[in-house]
Amino acid sequence: MRMSAVVLLLAALSLGAQPYSRRAPSGAIARSSLVGIVHAYPRAGADSSICIVGYQLNAGDLVFFQRRQSPPTYVALFVVTVEMRDTIGVVRYATVFRDSVVLDQPPPPTVRAPVANVEIATLANGQYTVSIDVSQQQQQRLVWHSTITLGPSPQSVAAASLMFLDQADRGDTACAQLWGQTIPFGTRRSAALLVVPRQWSGRDKLVAACRLREQYFPFYRGDDTVATILVTIDPRAIFAVPVWSVQSGGALRTLCMHQLLTEQHRLVLMELDLRRAIPGDYELLLIRPATSDTLEIPFRVQWFAPPPHLFVSRYAVEVMRYVLTDQEYTALLDTPDSNRTAAIIRWWTQHDPTPATRYNEAMVEYFRRAFAARTKLATAQEPDGALSERGKVFILFGEPSRIETSLEPDKPGVEVWQYTNAVRKRFTFEVTDQGRYRLVKVDAL
């Protein structure tokens, strides 16, 4: 039962269970989902650059209100202010996005629901501080800061132009992921595209590498944490100052670059294997072996929705009891607080159905369900739904396909959960005189 339950978690990732809770357990670490999007590409002259400026955030970090209509919908109205200041603090560029999100159900912070917008501007070369502020109802919600240098030097051109693609598309148009210089933790593969001056690269065969500079979560350990570059350079040598268009792409807008001929610049294309990457700051290294010249292009792997229970390790062990042996449960509780989260990660690594990746889908899904069950299944007598018998079934098997309730005079209340998916089981709960739900029967379907 214990091992099969862990394996079932991966199979159940597509069941679509959506928790309603918006509250994290006490002590959970809040981590902003806001990411700034800033890409810059040199123009024909040496004094200015074409800039793509915008944001991406997780809709689960916004406040929604319900529209009074049938069926009900939920709306989040928000304002995103972007400013770029020069080295003496003068605002050289500013824009305001007045955006909204309309959904059938407000997403929880533990589920990725990205929202993004961008626009294009031309800026004089120089160093800028970029600040992005997200507010709702005149109250600040999220803030993001960074710096960017625009200029003709190889390092400035390469670092400012870095963008990530779904794949290494060798056509005439490249469409970017709206991540800025950030890759979501759990991404298995991506392609990095950047610009270098032709005089820097010439006809040299460039060499690429990647290294981890700083990791965010000390409980991820090991030497195999650096992304691997599979293809180091695009063989074509005639690429242009890009022309950009923004196309409608559903909830997200797609940013595409049209590649033109040029004598000044060259595009470098690299495929990234990110299966062993962990959350942290990385550098792409682009090297000219003949001269040892090296460009260091920073980027980030960010865990946008880490399970809140990981940061309350003793509580995490309590909700893991459904998949732990008694010996494992006792050993984790006896582990010092400073080492318990690392011990929890090691346990999940040993039981990972996809060991080739650092992102443990089974672990994240387990804690996502526990986070949902905590309040979704809470009652007056069972204030923590994750630790109830209904919570155990919910965490192990996910959202039931159908729930039936029966309330008859002089009889205990009955609630029946049916799983018509791969689980193929029916769970029957009775309400005791104390108001607690007790599992009384399990039937196969």
Under the banding of pLDDT at 50, 70 and 90, the label for residue 248 is very low
pLDDT above 70 for 222:
no
Under the banding of pLDDT at 50, 70 and 90, the label for residue 261 is low
DSSP-derived pairing of the beta strands 163-165 and 139-150: unpaired
Mean pLDDT of the region 353-378: 89
Distance CA 185, CA 279 (A): 6
Query: What whole-number percentage of the chain has pLDDT above 90?
Result: 39
Distance CA 376, CA 369 (A): 10
Query: The domain 30-302 belongs to what CATH superfamily?
Result: Immunoglobulins (2.60.40.10)
Under the banding of pLDDT at 50, 70 and 90, the label for residue 93 is very high
pLDDT on residue 140: 77
Mean pLDDT of the region 363-376: 91
pLDDT above 70 for 238:
no
Under the banding of pLDDT at 50, 70 and 90, the label for residue 109 is low
Closest CA to 59 of 81, 37, 72, 77: 77
Burial class of residue 235 (count of CB atoms within 10 Å of its CB; 0-12, 13-18, 19+): exposed
pLDDT above 90 for 133:
yes
Mean pLDDT of the region 243-250: 40
How far, in Å, are 49, 178, 255, 265 from residue 82 at the CA level?
18, 16, 18, 29
What is the residue-averaged pLDDT of the chain?
81
* Phi, psi values for residue 89, rounded to 5°: 90, 5
pLDDT on residue 425: 94
pLDDT on residue 237: 34
Q: Quote helix, strand, coil % in the chain, to nearest 5.
A: 20, 40, 40
Q: Give the three-state DSSP class for 306.
A: coil
Name the residue ranges covered by the structural domains of the chain. Answer: 2-11+306-444, 30-302
Distance CA 238, CA 246 (A): 24
More confident residue, 226 or 316: 316
Q: Give the three-state DSSP class for 330.
A: helix
Closest CA to 216 of 27, 23, 29, 24: 29
Distance CA 378, CA 48 (A): 58
Mean pLDDT of the region 235-252: 39
Taking only the tens place, the pLDDT of each residue in 407-421 is 878 788 899 999 999
Under the banding of pLDDT at 50, 70 and 90, the label for residue 311 is confident
DSSP-derived pairing of the beta strands 414-419 and 402-406: antiparallel
Taking only the tens place, the pLDDT of each residue in 31-45 is 578 999 999 888 766
Query: What whole-number percentage of the chain has pLDDT above 70?
Result: 80
Taking only the tens place, the pLDDT of each residue in 316-364 is 999 999 999 999 999 999 999 989 999 999 999 999 988 888 889 899 8
pTM of the entire predicted model: 0.81
The residues, any chain, with a CB within 8 Å of residue 110's CB and separated by 6 or more, are: 19, 60, 305, 307, 308, 368, 371, 372
Mean pLDDT of the region 148-152: 92
